[in-house]
Amino acid sequence: GENVEQHPSTLSVQEGDSAVIKCTYSDSASNYFPWYKQELGKRPQLIIDIRSNVGEKKDQRIAVTLNKTAKHFSLHITETQPEDSAVYFCADLTGTYKYIFGTGTRLKVLA
Amino acid sequence: DGGITQSPKYLFRKEGQNVTLSCEQNLNHDAMYWYRQDPGQGLRLIYYSQIVNDFQKGDIAEGYSVSREKKESFPLTVTSAQKNPTAFYLCASSPGQGDYEQFFGPGTRLTVL
């Protein structure tokens, strides 16, 4: 069935370093790939997204890259700060309305 | 945080009781969703609805039921048939019609004693 694999499950980086989280999807018809940030006990918040007709998108310190041939997409955070510490989820949209989420990456930025 | 609300924030129920979680949105979104989140886990789709009076099962629908009688409302009932109902439940909505961004409610933490 459809699934999204997300790696790593935990990631610790020094403040100022970069962090990269990778997701692999299975449905070749997937056409939308969002990334969410979730702080403890809070709702997921969209931080960046990309559509299947685009290879890369950037928003200040955050970027997402998409490789449709390999069916994977990655989140890149540069110049990490302590407030970037959270759980990050990738997802893909299969069909028009059904989202499949990855299992999450707990990012810790060490001051 | 958009106009999507869930109530209550915390809910306690005895084993064997049905319980209904509320989700309301004033964003005029076509699509609404229910997810379950367990500690250290991702979001798993329970049910989703693309339009009023229509809904589809997600990956873990057993033991749950929903209704979509109004565009703004998508309540979720956790029945006694759900074997392990204690979890964090998140409702979401999206505009539909080619606009895919999902907006999440604040969640309801259900504890079954």
The whole-number pLDDT of residue B41 equals: 80
User: Which residues have a Cβ under 8 Å from the Cβ of B28 and sit 6 or more positions away?
Assistant: B71, B95
B45 in contact with A at a CB cutoff of 8 Å? yes
The arithmetic mean of pLDDT across residues A78-105, rounded, is 93
The whole-number pLDDT of residue B39 equals: 83
Pick A98's closest partner by Cβ from B42, B45, B96: B45
Residue contact B90–A100, C-beta within 8 A: no
User: Each residue's pLDDT tens digit in chain B (113 positions)?
Assistant: 459 999 999 999 998 899 999 999 999 999 999 999 998 788 999 999 999 999 999 999 999 999 999 999 999 999 988 889 999 999 999 998 888 899 999 999 999 98
The DSSP output letter for B18 is -
Q: Is A65 a residue whose pLDDT tops 60?
A: yes
A96 in contact with B at a CB cutoff of 8 Å? yes
Q: Is A96 a residue whose pLDDT tops 80?
A: no
Cα→Cα distances B25→A42, A67, A92, A95, B107, Å = 18, 35, 23, 23, 13
Pick B107's closest partner by Cβ from A43, A100, A102: A43
The DSSP output letter for B30 is S
The whole-number pLDDT of residue A28 equals: 87
